[in-house]
Amino acid sequence: GAVVSQHPSWVICKSGTSVKIECRSLDFQATTMFWYRQFPKQSLMLMATSNEGSKATYEQGVEKDKFLINHASLTLSTLTVTSAHPEDSSFYICSARTTSGSPNEQFFGPGTRLTVL
Amino acid sequence: GNSVTQMEGPVTLSEEAFLTINCTYTATGYPSLFWYVQYPGEGLQLLLKATKADDKGSNKGFEATYRKETTSFHLEKGSVQVSDSAVYFCALKTSYDKVIFGPGTSLSVIP
């Protein structure tokens, strides 16, 4: 149980286009999802916290107009990278927190590798 | 503020060697502590966790004890295997539910 999926697993896009990444909790409901970014051979940096039905809370230094987050249901959150540029190339990982069972544990998705040409 | 420090890698060990990856933290209050593992090209998997002082987390032969007096959560394994080659992240979770990761330690186990 407690599986989180991401789609797509990798994506290549042209500079200036927008890319949407989905994060789904497959077998549980998640009121809160988190989006992280990981640069090559570096640690994960929290970008934003997404609560179902409300606006996301962004970490300092993260452009909310560039990284649009929508958490429309208890099983789905999306991250849209708008007007992507090569510096946005990274590994994006989401996590979801359960609403029951082990509320203190976050379950991580497999990540989405974004390459902007 | 809250932060996590890990020993720098990469760490290279021979199969069946003893592994220690040091982790220390700075936090207000009483955070939960975690070790996550990331295999090449994959996302993070929770390896083990401890939620209060003196708790020992264990899984797949790995162990770590929550030491409040030394603010440490060192990861150990008595005999590593090639399949343990991965990047290991120490992390803490604050009372606001944010997970803060250490920089990660890359482990390579050679036959």
pLDDT recorded at residue B94: 79
- Distance in angstroms (rounded) separating the CA atoms of residues B104 and A98: 25
Write out the two tokens for A16.
């200036």
To the nearest whole percent, how much of chain A has pLDDT over 90?
67
- Distance in angstroms (rounded) separating the CA atoms of residues B46 and A79: 23
Compute the C-alpha angle B6/B10/B15, nearest 5°.
Answer: 110
Write out the two tokens for A33.
């999802």
* B106 contacts chain A (CB < 8 A): yes
Q: Which amino acid is at B85?
A: S
Grouping H, G, I as helix, E, B as strand and the rest as coil, residue B59 is: strand
Best B90, B92, B96, B101 member to test A by mutation, with max A CBs in 10 Å, is B101
* A46 contacts chain B (CB < 8 A): yes
Q: Give the pLDDT confidence of A29-54 residue by residue, as tens digits.
A: 888 899 999 887 788 899 999 988 88
To the nearest whole percent, how much of chain B has pLDDT over 90?
76
Q: Look at B36 and A108 and tell me if their CB atoms are within 8 Å.
A: yes
pLDDT recorded at residue B97: 74
CB-CB neighbors (< 8 A) of B32 in chain A: 104
| pLDDT surpasses 80 at A100 | no
- Distance in angstroms (rounded) separating the CA atoms of residues B64 and B35: 8
Range B7-23 average pLDDT = 94
Compute the C-alpha angle B60/B65/B70, nearest 5°.
Answer: 150
Compute the C-alpha angle B34/B36/B38, nearest 5°.
Answer: 170
Best B34, B44, B87, B105 member to test A by mutation, with max A CBs in 10 Å, is B44
pLDDT recorded at residue A102: 58
Q: Look at B43 and A109 and tell me if their CB atoms are within 8 Å.
A: yes
Q: Give the pLDDT confidence of B60-79 residue by residue, as tens digits.
A: 999 999 999 999 999 999 99
Q: Which residues make Cβ contacts (< 8 Å) with residue A12, sequence separation at least 6? A: A115, A116, A117
pLDDT recorded at residue A101: 59
